[in-house]
Amino acid sequence: MSLNEPETTSPASDEETSAVADQADGPVDPSVAVSVDPETGEILQPEIAMEVIDAEDLIAEPVKIDSPADRPGKWFVVHTQSGYEKKVKHNLEARTSSMNMEGRIHEVVIPMEEVVEFKNGKKVVVEKKMFPGYLLVRCHLDDDSWYVIRNTPGVTGFVGQGTKPSPLRRREVETFLTAKPEGEEAPIRKGRARLEYELSETVRVKEGPFADFSGEIIEINEDQLKVKVLVNIFGRETPVELEFSQVAKL
């Protein structure tokens, strides 16, 4: 070969391929180029392209929680006729739509909570209105939105100091409403269930020797489904233990 001629690499012969196979752990794929070190005769392993994975790609993107307090507008408390909360909510939503006020009045909510009641000696969790006679409305309050809300049938007024409605604080909003993942509705808060009766509450005895007596609850035994009521008997305050089913709210 002339020094001026470029060096060329000839394809591996059958003998060379056989020799390579003897040095390798298994058969050699003829479609894969095999290189041999000319000095040592050792097989040079082909470079295999490896996919590079960013460690950040392995970390799941956290779910964004949409706090009701971060939504557009502010939350206001609206007073309604007690027992007509659902009807008033429907009326306000209908007026908002018919008067093209969706850009100002965004959401109407009846705050709800879970309450533990005892029926026939069994604990039952039911959903009840947190504030009977009130709605929460998220809106940009101006003269137009105020007029639509205030003149909705069943609405008796806004809650606030003086004549100016007062928006709820952030802590109050997050107490009454549950945060949900972004894109989902967050209508109501379902917090820890509470008992139907509370300490210092006055109840009426429905049955037994003290039927029609009234008294103050001084102790609640949730495990045994009993309450201890301070009943006035012959001019003396006497603690009487009663089952939940034997008393009723006044």
Q: Tell which phi-psi region holds residue 92, choosing left (phi > 0), alpha (psi between -120 and 50) or beta.
A: alpha
Cβ atoms 16, 36 nearer than 8 A: yes
Per-residue model confidence (pLDDT) at position 61: 56
Cβ atoms 203, 217 nearer than 8 A: yes
Q: Is residue 50 classed as helix, strand or coil in its secondary structure?
A: coil
CA torsion through residues 210, 216, 219, 223, sign: positive
pLDDT digits (tens, 9 = 90+) for 39-73: 666 666 555 455 555 555 555 555 555 788 888 99
Angle at 196 between CA 193 and CA 201, to 5 degrees: 130
Kindly list the strands in the beta sheet with 194-195, ordered across the sheet, starting from the edge strand earlier in the chain. 122-129, 112-119, 194-195
pLDDT digits (tens, 9 = 90+) for 135-147: 999 999 999 999 9
Cα distance between the two ends of the chain = 115
Judge if pTM exceeds 0.85. Answer: no
127 or 136, which is more confident? 136
Q: Over the chain, what is the mean pLDDT?
A: 77
Per-residue model confidence (pLDDT) at position 114: 80
pLDDT digits (tens, 9 = 90+) for 168-192: 999 888 888 865 544 454 444 555 5
Most confident by average pLDDT, 95-104, 193-202, 227-236:
95-104
Burial (CB count within 10 angstroms: exposed 0-12, middle 13-18, buried 19+), residue 139: buried
Domains and CATH numbers, the chain: 14-44 (no CATH), 65-194 (3.30.70.940), 197-249 (2.30.30.30)
